[in-house]
Chains A and B, each alone.
Chain A
Amino acid sequence: MVPTDRRYTKEHEWVRLEGNAGTIGITEYAQHELGDVVFVELPKLGARLKSGQTMGTVESVKAVSDIFSPVGGEVIEINETLAQSPEQINKDPHGAAWLVKIRLDNPQEAAALMDAAAYEAYIAEKDKEVSA
């Protein structure tokens, strides 16, 4: 079961709220799909994010995937360790490999996203599609 303390997007990002701030990352499912991560491109401090818009990319050897911001807000912290150790995304996508922290424009926005149970069901469906 994915962590219940956060919300999820269809593009496999998660956001964990702490009052007016939020921490954003990508899910275990996403890292598994990507394979070994070699590089992460993150927004700069102070960048303004919008829900559903690209905020960066994550690269494996053979592919580049966009990361979409789950909610709108201003970037107040970036996980600097990912520049040196992008493999953390594979090892601990829900914890140490958080991407950015933001100050939310609208804390209510996250409520529209999937909760843990809904996301679990969503990825179970996706797995069925693939093996069909």
Chain B
Amino acid sequence: MSEKTIVANSPAVGTPSAARHISRNEGLIFERSAPGKRAFELPPLDVPAVAPSAALDASLLRDEIAGFPEVSEIEVIRHFTRLSTWNYAIDLGMYPLGSCTMKYNPRVNEFVARLEGLATEHPLQPAEVSQGCLRILQLLEKCLLEITGMDAVTLQPTAGAQGELTGLLLIRALLESRGNARRKVLIPDSAHGTNPASVVIAGYEVQNIKSNDRGQLDTDHLREYVTDDVAALMLTNPSTIGVFEERIAEIAEILHSRGALLYMDGANMNALAGVTRPGDFGVDVMHLNLHKTFSTPHGGGGPGAGPVLVKKVLEPFLPVPRLVERADGTLALESHRPQSIGRVRAFAGNFGVLLRALAYTLAYGPGIRQATEDAVLNANYIRKNLESVYDLPYGLASMHEVVFSDARQKKHGVGTMDIAKRLIDYGFHPYTTAFPLIVPGALMIEPTESESREECDLFIGAMRAIAEEVERNPELVKTAPHSTRVGRLDEVGAARKPVLRWHPKQPTELPSGVAPKVVPSA
């Protein structure tokens, strides 16, 4: 191995030795750079050349960018292709991640998003030459309103968290217009972390409310919590344990009777689309995660989009710009809205993501209900086949996701994180561990409608096999995974001495300060 290659590859447990091709041991792009190599050529200038030093004062100019990559095109292709082979992905198999809704990302969506005339458009170009883009936005707005039963929508927010913040700002604006913005927002202890974080940025105080012993909102005591100081309740429905809040009408009534509003976190919309509508059961404002329910790709962590839908009373406060249809039938974006909360991001929104969500919706049409039914069927099928081996802390009916706990396995010293890591050896991505907080040692499983019966059976088989391993050979589970390119990584070292970038002179420096071992091939 050359000096530049820092660590040698080590075969997976039980694999026979063989010459190790570099594809499993690809270094950083900077480590394969060599001066003078380049991967992209520009067409020649068709205007007179101007040296930057002739056009601009020397004090404004930079030296070369030290350390920037210098590689050829094939090296770029190989580098990133090799990296991609180290990832799990929906295209490979199921992600049973609860509340993430990792469903199939249709390829036609990628194709249409890249069309010339759509991918090429500048957000500030005149409306006269943007009618195609605006019609896409308008149609998506109509579809989302129909699916949710709400009255008005903004497609601006860039992700669910930004949608939550936008929704909270809308609530604040409405209550302020009524004379009192109030101070607190109620959040169940089962909520996703973005909920309380968004509340604080919106300038409200978080008041946590404990779930009842069935894992649901404590509706019996809700009336006491909803004082005149409370602006809203932020509720995920179905909840993060996958259960529909059956008393939702009562919850809405309690809030409304005190002049407070009901915000619904739409992360679990995959259990509802086509079957019921939040606008019908009392929700005043909600967001959707288009990268969840509406199939836009996660891409390793984003982009997403988090449209916010509201009842009529909140419409005047929606962020700008607003999509309007003029008398002549043309569309435009309008920024003059005196009561608007303002702008939440530059330009019109994550158009490329919105476009993909529309393509998804058009593919299903009214048949979207079938996807929801299949998602709920899959979750219940998995639940039924695992409830004899994993502890089910709450007995209520599951919708599109089911939450177990590691209580039984803990008796053998094995926790949810260990089981999750062992699941990797069976070819699956782990489920969501340690969330929601109300279930200690949670295993949160959401298969989505994209999983076939075979895939569900394979998953069930793997989980049952691991449950057996926990009893026979807990060490095997506790030290998993065994089949991946790297084993469990030292997160403690990474946090104590963060190394957050490559440095030209520091090829062998590692957080522990110890030189890395060269592991011989077996």
A residues 32-75 near B (Cβ < 8 Å) are: 36, 38-39, 59-62
CA distance in complex: A60, B492 (Å): 8
Interface size on A, residues (CB 8 A): 9
Q: Does A86 contact B (CB under 8 A)?
A: yes
Q: Does A87 contact B (CB under 8 A)?
A: yes
Residue numbers of A with Cβ under 8 A of B are 36, 38-39, 59-62, 86-87
Contacts A36-B492, A39-B495, A61-B492 given; 12 further ones with Cβ under 8 A? A38-B492, A38-B495, A38-B496, A39-B496, A59-B495, A60-B492, A61-B491, A61-B495, A62-B434, A86-B496, A87-B492, A87-B496
Interface residues on B, range: under 10
For the complex formed, measure the closest distance between the CB of B425 and the CB atoms of chain A, giving whole angstroms: 23
CA distance in complex: A39, B495 (Å): 8
Q: Please name the residue on chain A nearest to B496 by beta carbon.
A: A38
CA distance in complex: A36, B496 (Å): 10
Q: Which residues of B contact A60 (CB under 8 A)?
A: 492
Q: Please name the residue on chain B nearest to A36 by beta carbon.
A: B492
Q: Which residues of B contact A59 (CB under 8 A)?
A: 495
Q: Name 15 interchain pairs, CB-CB below 8 A, sorted by A.
A: A36-B492, A38-B492, A38-B495, A38-B496, A39-B495, A39-B496, A59-B495, A60-B492, A61-B491, A61-B492, A61-B495, A62-B434, A86-B496, A87-B492, A87-B496
For the complex formed, measure the closest distance between the CB of A121 and the CB atoms of chain B, giving whole angstroms: 25
Q: Please name the residue on chain B nearest to A90 by beta carbon.
A: B492
CA distance in complex: A59, B491 (Å): 13
Q: Which residues of B contact A39 (CB under 8 A)?
A: 495-496
Q: Please name the residue on chain A nearest to B417 by beta carbon.
A: A62
For the complex formed, measure the closest distance between the CB of B437 and the CB atoms of chain A, giving whole angstroms: 11
Q: Which residues of A contact B495 (CB under 8 A)?
A: 38-39, 59, 61
CA distance in complex: A90, B495 (Å): 15
Q: Please name the residue on chain B nearest to A85 by beta carbon.
A: B496
- Residue from B434, B491, B495 having most chain A Cβ neighbours under 10 A: B495
CA distance in complex: A86, B434 (Å): 25
CA distance in complex: A86, B497 (Å): 10
Q: Which residues of A contact B492 (CB under 8 A)?
A: 36, 38, 60-61, 87
CA distance in complex: A59, B492 (Å): 10
